[in-house]
Amino acid sequence: MDRADILALFDRFERREAVPAGLRLERTPHLVRHVGAARQPSCIVWHDLVDADVDAVIADEVAHWTALGQEVEWKFHAHDLPTDLRRRLLAAGFEPDEEEALMAFDLRRAPDWIAADAGHDVRGVSLEALDDVATVIAGVWPDEVGRFMARYRDDGLAATARTRFFVAYDGGAPVAAGWCEASSDVTPFLGLWGGAVLPTHRGRGLYRAIIAARARHALARGFRFLTVDAGPMSRPILERLGFEQLATITACTWRPAAAVRLR
């Protein structure tokens, strides 16, 4: 299966047909939204704007989310149309995030690194150990801890069958963490999220160990592909493990406060 085929499957299962646990699915004539509660992130994960008045659709979204007083991330990929969507979103007051790479790994290849634990103490953890995951996130992305806990502890999503958390310990203390989540019960993809290692423990193979633990989990449950939205730090590691880039991802976020700056 080549990259174009995998990307087509990704668009279908992870964007158009995804049914997110704990989020409300909304479909409009041109968009698919995943809507969270007030403290949770919401996202536009798919759009079909080929025959649409693009600026009018964007204006409708701005009005919709402003009325809710809720921010939303519009996530689009390099192969999406129109090609100037980023420019149009910025002109409407959306704020760009760092560009990421959509990376995928075909688990049918199953290289040796998946089976190796490299001597690290990596454990799949339950809801009761979610504070250990949060400890690692706080040490790497302190601004994200509140959202993480709201989504996975306060609203009980960690108890769902689609999500599994993994923590690496050193002397009993959490030093690395990541989780994986399926977007539906029928998708062949398992998304990898987090992948954080405390600065004091980098360079010891912990990032790879957390990926390997989630890959074993995916194989045991019959998933075909792993996917990661990779930033510049993780992308080289993933490429060395055999992940391939399918597309670049751009996310632009509308925040209600942006409306004030546009007046």
> Dihedrals φ, ψ of 197, to 5°?
-130, 130
Same domain, 150 and 193: yes
pLDDT at 107: 96
Does some domain include residue 229? no
For residue 88 the two structure tokens come to 């149009």
Same domain, 113 and 94: no
Does some domain include residue 244? no
Domain of residue 188, residue span: 109-223
Q: What is the pLDDT of residues 8-66, one digit of tens each?
A: 999 999 999 998 887 899 999 999 999 987 767 799 999 999 999 999 999 999 999 99
CA dist 74 and 95 (Å) reads 10
CB distance 181 to 163 below 8 Å: yes
pLDDT at 158: 67
- Provide the CATH number for the domain around residue 143: 3.40.630.30
Same domain, 213 and 126: yes
Does some domain include residue 233? no
Counting beta carbons within 10 angstroms of the beta carbon of residue 219, is it exposed (0 to 12), middle (13 to 18) or buried (19 or more)? middle
Residues whose CB falls within 8 Å of the CB of residue 261, separated by 6 or more in sequence, listed in order = 93
CA dist 232 and 248 (Å) reads 12
pLDDT at 6: 96
> Dihedrals φ, ψ of 115, to 5°?
-80, -20
Total domains present in the chain: 2
For residue 171 the two structure tokens come to 């002397």
Same domain, 116 and 218: yes
Does some domain include residue 199? yes
Same domain, 73 and 150: no
